[in-house]
Amino acid sequence: MMVRKACGLLVVLVVWAANAMAQSSGLVDEWPAGRVYLASGDSLSGKITYHRSEDLIRINKPDGSVVAYSPVAVRGFEAIDNEGRYRRVFVTQRWNFGNDYSDFLAPAFFEQIVIGNYGLLKRETMTRRDISRDPMYRGGYYPYGGYPVGGPMYVDQRLDNFFILLPSGKVKELRNVKKDLEAIFGKKNNAMKEYVKQNKLKYTSLPDLAKIVSYFGAISQPEVRTSSVDM
């Protein structure tokens, strides 16, 4: 019963399909339809462009006008594919932007993967990967760690960065997902390890990670009620 309840908390396992539907260029995503929920209480709909590096969204409204918003003016937004089959939900949370030695928190956009007593959030960043020595790309072997003729070859690659939304409302980055989550599990660590083992879950799989966080939230007593975007 508890496992079924936990699975019921799973919110966005359609994220993989939605990723394929979004038109992407670098760290800019575009969706043909969506709705933005403003901090003022108003909302507006239209084509959404999300500039991840700048944490900025642009909305092309049906009347042809274009407006842009930063997280400080937005409670959250949802992006929908062409046929309305998949929805990606983003919420605004206050975060220290990775500076654990600072008390300064600023609003930022996070993709909402799991909602519950403990929430799972995601942001995407870009990195450059050297594929010069990868035979899958170059089809050759290069001894002594050398580069092929022409030098190194780099490709831009997106990285998923995961965060846990604690019952207190604090956003904690999961730099080492398995290690950091096990520290958060605390007294329920043994129960969580058994759940992961029995269900053959992997911390490196997004659907599995969502199940892990959902289950932990289901077996944990709520401490402080967290807020979410009413969509």
Q: Is the dihedral of CA 60, 37, 126, 94 positive or negative?
A: positive
Q: What is the mean pLDDT of the chain?
A: 81
pLDDT tens-digit series, residues 16-31: 333 434 444 468 999 9
CA distance 7 to 217: 11
Mean pLDDT lowest for which of 3-12, 18-27, 83-92, 129-138?
A: 3-12
Long-range Cβ pairs for the range 199-202 (8 Å, 24+):
none
The residue among 169, 176, 178 whose CA lies nearest residue 208 is: 178
Share of the chain above pLDDT 90, in %: 60
pLDDT of residue 226: 47
pLDDT of residue 122: 97
CA distance 117 to 9: 10
pLDDT tens-digit series, residues 151-179: 667 677 788 999 999 999 999 999 999 99
More confident residue, 199 or 224: 199
Asked if residues 222 and 166 have their Cβ atoms less than 8 Å apart, the reply is no
Length of the chain, please?
Answer: 231
Identify the top-confidence range among 9-18, 112-121, 128-137: 112-121
Confidence of residue 4 (pLDDT cuts 50, 70, 90): very low
CA distance 39 to 49: 19
pLDDT tens-digit series, residues 78-118: 999 777 778 999 999 999 998 888 889 999 999 999 999 99
